[in-house]
Amino acid sequence: MNKRLSLLALAGWFCILLFAQQSEKNYTVIVSLDGFRWDYAEMYETPHLDRIAARGVKATMLPSYPASTFPNHYTLATGLVPDHHGIVNNSFWDPVTQLRYSMGDSLTRNNPDYYLGEPIWITAQKQGVSTGITYWVGSDIPIKGVFPDSYLFYDNSNLLSYEERIDRTLAFLERPEEERPGLIMMYMEEPDGVGHRSGPVSEQTGQVVQYLDSLMGVLKDRIDALPIAGRVNLIVTSDHGMADINTERVVDMDLYLKPEWCEVIDGRAPTSVFSKPGYRDSIYLALKDVPHIQVWKKEEIPAELNYGTSDRIGDIVIAPDTGWQFTDRPSTSKGAHGFSPFSPEMQVIFRAYGPDFKEGYKSGTFVNVDIYPLLAWLLRITPEQTDGRFERVKQMIKFPID
């Protein structure tokens, strides 16, 4: 009898322990390396990213249109395509405020009214998961009146070094349990900068990629050395890729677009035109047969680009072919982005490992709106309705819920 009782007690404890273990919180760290094209990890030596892939998941991810920094970081945060979250390009004309929003202009960049949808840090905080963010687009702006629990203002003249950003992430993870953020997000500007300056296929880009790879190795090893190592999921990904450009592949805007037809012309890759009354067809007809660009009436933009309902997009949109420029001021850079997400040059790296990810798993391609529901799943919170779908990424998860 006694023996039976103690066996029962033991079984009871086992259940409690199992329950405690299952309800133990996991931590999620997501790193964005700006402009890290998916095949940099094939072209250049990336032993540390390869180590992450061997222990976790490796995939290629499609950006949303247009493949630029602000639209895509905000898509990663909200699960909405740029057409729905409002940051439709790095700069755009807003007919409501009659202002040109630009990521480089602090007045418009810092105005929360431009940022629609709900970033993951707000969804998390509403459900009791605290957040620690380093420089993610939108994280220093009071969107819906809310800041992340910890964030830093993005001040171009006084930014933390990459090493300091890693220290900050580790400091979050080393905090006592009650103060430890469940969601940690970190941004780095490279290899976008070098990709623009030197082109995606260049020795200089290779060197920066290798440096970033070694930093990811440091991050991984420091996470692995923590007492909570087995409870940290790490994702390394990016906003868009990089394509070769040169001053030969230019379509001269001035040859086709007459200023008297246009109220506003803004953005490159793509260019948005708000036509003057009565001139829309003139603009369309002038551009329709020009080689190396696509011109669309706003309502005829191909559905797969998910672009064209926001009032911040002009009534005519002009997209240069990948590697081409449609401009009156050609860039002398060697690399550019903003092109179609279906162009392989625009696609990005995705690596992830941790308790929730399968090991040594090569996943198919997926779209970056799915990051928001993936993060929500990792954080065990309920996501908002978005353009993303957990269904499309759940194959990379160790214990999918069916």
Closest to ligand AMP by CB, 193 or 217? 193
**Nearer of residues 308 and 335 to ligand AMP, judged by Cβ:** 335
Of the residues 28, 68, 89, 150, which one makes contact with ligand AMP according to CB under 6 A: 68
Q: Is residue 193 involved in binding ligand AMP (CB under 6 A)?
A: yes
The option from ligand AMP, Zn ion, none interacting with 189 (CB < 5 to 8 A, set by class) reads: ligand AMP
Question: Cα–Cα distance between 155 and 146 in angstroms, integer?
Answer: 19
Q: Which residue is nearest to Zn ion (CB)?
A: 69
Residue type, 208: V
74, 92, 135, 390: residue in contact with ligand AMP (rule CB under 6 A):
135
Say if residues 205 and 244 touch (Cβ distance below 8 Å). Answer: no
Q: At what angle do helices 69-78 and 371-378 cross, to 10 degrees?
A: 40
| Cα separation, 49 vs 144, whole angstroms | 36
What's the CA gap between 36 and 243, in Å, rounded?
Answer: 11
Site string for Zn ion, 168-207 (x = CB under 5 A): ------------------------x---------------
Q: Which of residues 7-46 bind ligand AMP (CB under 6 A)?
A: 34
193: CB partners within 8 A, 6+ apart: 34, 35, 208
Q: What tokens does 105 get?
A: 């202009």
Residue 103 as a binder of ligand AMP (CB under 6 A): the answer is yes
Which partner, ligand AMP, Zn ion, none, binds residue 133 by CB below 5 to 8 Å per kind? none
Candidate list 53, 57, 137, 316; residue touching ligand AMP; CB under 6 A: 137
Q: Which of 32, 60, 64, 69 is the binder for Zn ion (CB under 5 A)? A: 69
Q: Is residue 121 within the footprint of ligand AMP (CB under 6 A)? A: no
First to last CA, the chain: 41
* Site for ligand AMP contains 111 (CB under 6 A): no
Q: Which of 60, 69, 198, 233 binds ligand AMP (CB under 6 A)?
A: 69
Q: Is residue 160 part of the contact set for ligand AMP (CB under 6 A)?
A: no
Q: Which window, 110-118, 170-178, 186-194, 250-258, contacts ligand AMP (CB under 6 A)? A: 186-194
Contacts 24+ apart (CB under 8 A), 286-290: 286/256, 286/257, 286/258, 287/256, 287/257, 287/316, 287/318, 290/251, 290/256
**From ligand AMP, Zn ion, none, interface partner of 103 (C-beta below 5 to 8 A by class):** ligand AMP
Phi and psi, residue 238, nearest 5°: -155, 175
> What is the CB-side half-sphere exposure of residue 347 using CA atoms within 13 A?
15
Tell whether residue 92 is a contact of ligand AMP (CB under 6 A): no
CB 181 within 8 A of CB 172: yes
Nearer to ligand AMP, 110 or 214 (CB): 110
The answer to whether the CB of 342 falls within 8 A of the CB of 63 is no
Catalytic annotation, residues: 69
Beta carbon nearer to ligand AMP, 118 or 192: 192
CA distance 202 to 401: 44
Burial of residue 363 (CB within 10 Å: 0-12, 13-18, 19+) is: middle
203-205-211-212 Cα dihedral, nearest 10 degrees: -160
- Name the residues that contact Zn ion, by CB under 5 A: 34-35, 69, 192, 239
- Name the residues that contact ligand AMP, by CB under 6 A: 34, 68-69, 90, 103, 135, 137, 154, 187, 189, 192-193
